[in-house]
Amino acid sequence: MITSFLRKRRAFTLIELLLVIGIIAILASIVIVAINPTRQLGRARDAQRRSDVNTILNAVYQYSIDNNGQLPSILSGSNFTGPTPVCQGDTRITGACDYTSPGGYTKMVDLDALTGSYMVKVPRDPSLAANTATGTRYTISKANNRVTVASYGSEQTPAPGITVTR
């Protein structure tokens, strides 16, 4: 009677269970490596950076078109040397865009004059926290009447990073 009870009962053996678990683990690791969420998020942030760089450059050139070819005064002054960081500060606060960095920058470019008419607000790097200082991690420079805007925070784009010149 006991032997007939044991024969009727069917179940998976320990080896079969371990084999199935091992196959599932191998397939899961292949899928995770193929998707690579860290790389995908980095690509998304770089796409946002490209969009932000173009937004800043388009705003500068739209201003130039509306003002008979003159660049904003902050970019056309003789003291402007680039690449200089772009500020996202409140111009009502005195010195909001002043800082000293290890790279030697002592003043950020304040493009607040372009907000409202040419862009909604000065964009910030997508990896920056919402309430961090006034920096944007974008730089702007001018040489030979050509303006270059760059992002020095790119993750997936090789050096020198994301730059657009017009």
Burial (0-12, 13-18, 19+ Cβ within 10 Å), 92: exposed
Residue position matching structure tokens 């970019």 = 75
Sheet of 162-165: strands edge to edge? 109-110, 84-87, 135-143, 146-151, 162-165
Is 117 part of a structural domain of the chain? yes
Q: What is the pLDDT of residue 134?
A: 62
The total of other beta-carbon atoms located within 10 Å of residue 66's CB is: 11
- pLDDT tens for each residue of 148-157: 999 887 887 7
Domain that includes residue 104, residue range: 38-165
Is 17 part of a structural domain of the chain? no
- Domains of the chain: total: 1
DSSP E strand stretches across 56-134: 84-87, 109-110
Least confident span in 21-35, 52-66, 99-113, 125-139: 99-113
Is 70 part of a structural domain of the chain? yes
- Three-class SS of residue 9? coil
Which pLDDT band holds residue 128 (cuts at 50, 70, 90)? confident
Is 30 part of a structural domain of the chain? no
Is 14 part of a structural domain of the chain? no
Overall average pLDDT of the 71-98 stretch: 68
Is 57 part of a structural domain of the chain? yes
**Beta bridge partner(s), residue 147:** 142
The total of other beta-carbon atoms located within 10 Å of residue 58's CB is: 16
Global pTM value = 0.73
Q: With contact defined as beta carbons under 8 Å apart, do 155 and 45 qualify?
A: yes
Burial (0-12, 13-18, 19+ Cβ within 10 Å), 123: buried
Is 6 part of a structural domain of the chain? no
Residue 107 DSSP one-character state: B
Which pLDDT band holds residue 92 (cuts at 50, 70, 90)? very low
Please indicate whether residue 28 or residue 7 has the higher confidence score (pLDDT): 28
